[in-house]
Structure 1
Amino acid sequence: MRSLFLTFFGLLLTLTTTAQVNVLAEKTEETWAAHFEILKDKGYPVNQILKDSTLPFSKPHEITDFSNTDYYWVRLKAANTSRYPEKYYVFAFPNLHNTLYYFDREKKRWRSRESGFAVADSMRSPGNIPYTFLDRKPETFFLKLRFSDLRGSNSSINIGVAFRKAAPIDLKEEKILRYWTATMAIIAIFFLYNTYIYFLFKDKAYLYYLLILAGAMLYITTYSGFIDVVWNARYFTASLSAPGLYTFSLNIIMMQLAIIMIITGLVQYCRTYLETATLLPKWDRIILNCNRALVSLLTVSTFLTASGIAYTYKYSNYITNLLVVVILFIIFYIGFLSWKKGLKQAKYFLIANSLPMVIVLIITVFFMVNITNRGPEFLPNLAVVLQAITLAVALVARVNVIKDDLKAKEIEAERLKLENDQILLKSQLITVENQYVNAQMVIAQAEKDKLQEELDHNQRELVSTTMYVYQKNEMLAELKKQISGLTSDNKETLKQIKSTIQNNLYMDADWDKFRIHFEKVNPQFFEDLLSKHPNLTQNEIRLSAYFHLNLTVKEIATLLNIDPESVRKAKTRMNKKMNL
């Protein structure tokens, strides 16, 4: 009878206990505890919390007063449905600094473990505390939640406890680590290669591309939460307001810096790649001012929040994301305008930025409406990898366009050089021709001088010959006159002398000699004269030659050994023949 009573009492105790146990669903990855009790800490020792069942734990309720509250205690029981050991993560909200106390059945003693934003541990997601259920037996847990960081908050909070299966979380963490490693490796390869290209070409577009890659690596690291893992103080300040708990940590500060690096790099990359300062000065100023506004907003908001002056991150986040969206749309629109203006590399810029910018816009819009969630885990990795690849391809395309332009300019330069060479050759040819002409002119002048000298010589010789003939005939005429006045007995001899003198006065030899010298000085004179006046006699031709030499009538009369009056008459007859 006694054994039956004990069995019934044990069964009743089991049913009563089981009613307060949180049974973890086998097919559910996360189970929020429905049965737990809370207690405001009043400086209780840990041993008293763990062993004193008379402490006034109560059902959970909304907590609104944080002025005199440093800690709250949570007591609950949970049991796994699996008969085999299974690992879980115990998560309690708020997850600033939580300590889990559990009983180690193997070592027969209570143990503790901490987690949360203010705890430096290896957990990427703060607040997850690992625990392994050995069997189906219910386990008792105590949680100490720190609330001192929420002093000054004007909102309320409800404590929550969840049991998360470790396998999916660990698998997810492994995937995140693998994706992060792969992403960082890809970006690092692009970074190192394009660093070499930058130092090779000194092109600013490559420098801004490197800034984008550096910002992308930092953003992926902060987005994955790895900064918090290695930093001892995981947050600077916290704020409790609808719809939840907001913390501001070094991870967020570095994320803000990464956003500045990426957006500034994109803006400067766009300006350099599309030459907006020259082609689109108006839009160049607009995008620069938007970028300055974004940098100023992030800098001021980060300073105010991190210093604790005012928690502005929650509110500035909307404006920041909106500015990012506006800047991305402006960048894309500038690419479209550049393409419309006929810039060759603009189409590569548009193609390269289309898909990555769509993904970035999706992420940005997601954070605008879901500020408390981490968002899609792998989209940022995909976005930065695509951005790295497509921008690199765009740079290669830009280099090819520049090469084509340089090649065209080189061809144009070669053509201009050829034209210049032809002009120079022509100039040299003209110079040579001028030199040849000058030489010919010098030679002609020399020949002219020589001919002039010969002409002068012949002229002098002609004059000399004419004077000689003139003097000879004058002497012969005088001699004839003297002989005519002589009286001699030998009249026959005198007659012969007079006949000889008369013959000498009309010898053709003197005329022939005169004609030779005259033709040297006046070539073609006689031919032209006879061609125009073929009916002239030999004496008239001789008379024309004498008149051409500007000899006087008296001088001609002497040369011809006739009276001057006869010369005048002969000239008159000759002029009539010549119609002068």
Structure 2
Amino acid sequence: MLEYRAADFPSYRLFINQCQLPKIILLLVLLFIPVMVHAQTVNTLMDRSTAQIKSYALLVDQGYTLDRVRTDTTLRFVPNDSLRPVKATYYWLKVVVINPAHYDEPYNVSVQPSLKNTLYSFDRNSLRWVSQQGGIYAPNMGRRNRNLMTFVAQGHTETTLFIQVDVRYPFDKAIKPVITIEKQAITNRDDQFRLIAWIASLSVLFLFFLNNLIIYFNFKHKIILYYLIVQIGGMIYVTDYKQFFQVLFPCPVFTIGLLPNGQLTHYDLGNLLQHFSIFLILFGLVQLTRAYLNTSTTLPRLDFILRYGLYTYGLLSFILLVINTCLVYLESYTIWYHNVLALFLIGVIIWTCIIGYVRRLPAASPFLLATILPLSFILAISLFHVFVSFNKNEGTLLPDLAIITQALMFSVALVARTKLIQQELMVRNAEALQHLFDMREMELSHQLTELENQKINADIRHEKTKNELLQQRLEINQRELASTTLYMVQKNELLANLKARLVKLTNRHPTVSQQELKGIESILQSDQYLDADWGKFKVHFEQVHPDFFDNLLAKYPSLTKHEIRLYAYFHINLSTKEIAALLNIDPASVRRAKTRLYKKMAVSEPDTPA
């Protein structure tokens, strides 16, 4: 802090004694000095919280020190002049104020433009000139408002203030400095009120946040997650709105802008956090509404508007954030559009809640009651900034009311939602039990089916074994049938040969002895066993072809025994020659008998092997 000791001024008497001018000139000089001293209008600090100084004097700074500015009478201060950055980068402001009170009182003074201003005031306690800096680039002293600089105004005494104004920002026009003085007691009272409101709001939000955080870890429900996001955004927004980020830590300045009224403004980390918090709040509210009312299914059109409205706001905020932090200051020109778009989203959320209530969606009634009050306060904040002022120092309780009511009312909605979820869980538990019983029944049915399949497989294996045995038996019977048939054929051939020999013998020896004829007769006597051979053949045939003769007689009852025997031979595909040998007839007779048989049976005659 810069300090200067007060210089002792020479008395008027010493000044007169040293002058050699005529008395008349001395008299004029003595009369002119008070006029020069009091040429600048004195600003009386009335009993008001804030006063704007209308009278000041301006001096172009050409590297002057405070001592020279204060004591050099040749330096010309121009009353109520404008700052011209194209002419100089630093100016000296001289302000004379008088405190009408009987006691000393501290005041805060701010000067616009406020890049980096330095206030010099006289301290009666230390009898020194002390300095204090304020402005955008002033060192962070843990103050909520960087522009404020403090001085003490003596009671019933004029107080002269010298302020060095930095105008190095490339302004292209003359600017009237704006000097505002406020009682420090008023500032401290306002800061204390803001601090109490901020602590109360954060305490409520933090308690609700912890409670719902525990609930979220237990249920993992996305509705509670969106509610937590809204609370995080609310805590950040309240902290920035009350300008406590500048108290907690330095907020770097990204870009600077000059408003049409000559006020210098800037975009710093606090502005960035403010827009981020607003996006978190809108994101949480939109997603909470969509999830709570299931708008993607119940209200698809409003869900589309909410979703893409949020995307639009997020994209616009990101683009403007990049421009304001990296390129050029646009905050004062785009904040109106930000608030209008936020108004639109809040309005759509309220309308969605009303439509959900009208359509009697599940838990829509408590959600509407929980939404209408905090969203009304949020609407009031946006309307205030759109139509009244963007100044954070005004309307300070609206964010607190919005955030606290949001935390309280949405907790009620979450309780209603929790009850609905519990009912749904009970229904789902009942359905789960029913599904469990059904699955158990299906499992038992599956086991029964497996047992039946095992039984079927066992039966199949048994039948397979049985069929294999039957197949083996069939093959044996077929071999026996073939053997019997072959035997009968050979026997009949033998009989045919014997008959032929008998005929030849009779023809050759008509007078054969009686003994020889008896031998031949004995051989021919064996022909009577032909019927027994047929019976044996029939037994083997029926073993291979069960119920063949019964079915044949049932279908063709007019068939004779000889025709049945002939058809059996045809069925096993014996040749005409073999059948002729078995029946002791010639093959031509077999063919004729076959034709007559199939004609009698009224069936087509198949080919028979020769």
TM-score by length of 2: 0.63
Q: Does 1:169 align with 2:226?
A: no
Once the two structures are TM-superposed, the CA of residue 112 in structure 1 deviates from its matched residue by 0.3
Residue-by-residue CA offset, 1:437-488 (whole Å, 9 max, x unaligned):
xxxxxxxxxxxxxxxxxxxxxxxxxxxxxxxxxxxxxxxxxxxxxxxxxxxx
Q: Does 1:268 align with 2:287?
A: yes
CA 227–417 in structure 1, closer or farther in 2 if over 3 Å, else same: closer
Residue-by-residue CA offset, 1:156-183 (whole Å, 9 max, x unaligned):
5211222211112111110100110111
SS in 1 for 2:283: helix
CA 419–197 in structure 1, closer or farther in 2 if over 3 Å, else same: closer
| Structure 2 residue corresponding to 1:80, chosen from 81, 96, 99 | 99
Partner of 2:331: 313
Return the alpha-carbon distance in structure 1 between the equivalents of residues 390 and 265 of structure 2: 7
SS in 2 for 1:254: helix
Map 1:76-225 to 2 at 5 A.
Answer: 76-119=95-138, 120-149=140-169, 151=170, 153-154=171-172, 156-225=174-243
Residue-by-residue CA offset, 1:183-222 (whole Å, 9 max, x unaligned):
1111000111110000000001111111110110000011
Return the alpha-carbon distance in structure 1 between the equivalents of residues 146 and 178 of structure 2: 15
Q: Does 1:290 align with 2:309?
A: yes
Contact 2:144 2:247 in 1 (8 A): yes
Return the alpha-carbon distance in structure 2 between the equivalents of residues 19 and 34 of structure 1: 15
Once the two structures are TM-superposed, the CA of residue 275 in structure 1 deviates from its matched residue by 0.9
Contact 1:227 1:251 in 2 (8 A): yes
| Structure 1 residue corresponding to 2:381, chosen from 351, 363, 366 | 363
Higher mean displacement: 24-33 or 207-216: 24-33
Return the alpha-carbon distance in structure 2 between the equivalents of residues 400 and 69 of structure 1: 70
SS in 1 for 2:396: coil
Partner of 2:264: 245
Return the alpha-carbon distance in structure 1 between the equivalents of residues 390 and 31 of structure 2: 46
Map 1:296-307 to 2 at 5 A.
Answer: 296-307=315-326
Residue-by-residue CA offset, 1:32-65 (whole Å, 9 max, x unaligned):
22321012222223332233232121022344x4
Partner of 2:298: 279
Contact 1:154 1:240 in 2 (8 A): no
| Structure 2 residue corresponding to 1:22, chosen from 34, 37, 42 | 42
CA 200–11 in structure 1, closer or farther in 2 if over 3 Å, else same: farther
Residue-by-residue CA offset, 1:9-42 (whole Å, 9 max, x unaligned):
9999778756735343442122222321012222
Return the alpha-carbon distance in structure 2 between the equivalents of residues 349 and 293 of structure 1: 25
CA 358–172 in structure 1, closer or farther in 2 if over 3 Å, else same: same
Return the alpha-carbon distance in structure 2 between the equivalents of residues 80 and 44 of structure 1: 29
Return the alpha-carbon distance in structure 1 between the equivalents of residues 207 and 30 of structure 2: 67
| Structure 2 residue corresponding to 1:45, chosen from 42, 65, 83 | 65
| Structure 2 residue corresponding to 1:342, chosen from 324, 342, 360 | 360
Once the two structures are TM-superposed, the CA of residue 295 in structure 1 deviates from its matched residue by 1.0
| Structure 2 residue corresponding to 1:405, chosen from 407, 420, 424 | 424
Once the two structures are TM-superposed, the CA of residue 292 in structure 1 deviates from its matched residue by 1.1
SS in 1 for 2:80: coil
CA 418–220 in structure 1, closer or farther in 2 if over 3 Å, else same: closer
Q: Does 1:323 align with 2:346?
A: no
Return the alpha-carbon distance in structure 2 between the equivalents of residues 54 and 284 of structure 1: 74
Unaligned runs of 5+ in 1: 428-580
Map 1:491-510 to 2 at 5 A.
Answer: none
Return the alpha-carbon distance in structure 2 between the equivalents of residues 372 and 204 of structure 1: 34
Residue-by-residue CA offset, 1:528-555 (whole Å, 9 max, x unaligned):
xxxxxxxxxxxxxxxxxxxxxxxxxxxx
CA 157–379 in structure 1, closer or farther in 2 if over 3 Å, else same: same
SS in 2 for 1:186: helix
Q: CA RMSD in A?
A: 3.2
CA 181–399 in structure 1, closer or farther in 2 if over 3 Å, else same: same
Contact 2:266 2:329 in 1 (8 A): no
SS in 1 for 2:79: coil
Once the two structures are TM-superposed, the CA of residue 364 in structure 1 deviates from its matched residue by 0.7
Map 1:457-468 to 2 at 5 A.
Answer: none
Higher mean displacement: 192-201 or 264-273: 264-273
Return the alpha-carbon distance in structure 2 between the equivalents of residues 13 and 106 of structure 1: 29
Partner of 2:489: none
Partner of 1:572: none
Unaligned runs of 5+ in 2: 1-11, 14-22, 446-610
Partner of 2:402: 383
Partner of 2:78: 58
Higher mean displacement: 127-136 or 75-84: 127-136
Return the alpha-carbon distance in structure 2 between the equivalents of residues 412 and 295 of structure 1: 42
Return the alpha-carbon distance in structure 2 between the equivalents of residues 73 and 83 of structure 1: 30
Return the alpha-carbon distance in structure 1 between the equivalents of residues 244 and 270 of structure 2: 8
Identity %: 28
Return the alpha-carbon distance in structure 1 between the equivalents of residues 119 and 225 of structure 2: 50
Look up the equivalent residue of 1:51 and give its one-letter code: T
Once the two structures are TM-superposed, the CA of residue 286 in structure 1 deviates from its matched residue by 1.7
CA 169–296 in structure 1, closer or farther in 2 if over 3 Å, else same: same
CA 272–11 in structure 1, closer or farther in 2 if over 3 Å, else same: farther
SS in 1 for 2:76: coil
Return the alpha-carbon distance in structure 1 between the equivalents of residues 251 and 205 of structure 2: 29
Return the alpha-carbon distance in structure 2 between the equivalents of residues 100 and 420 of structure 1: 85
SS in 1 for 2:136: coil
Return the alpha-carbon distance in structure 1 between the equivalents of residues 196 and 293 of structure 2: 36
Look up the equivalent residue of 2:210 and give its one-letter code: L
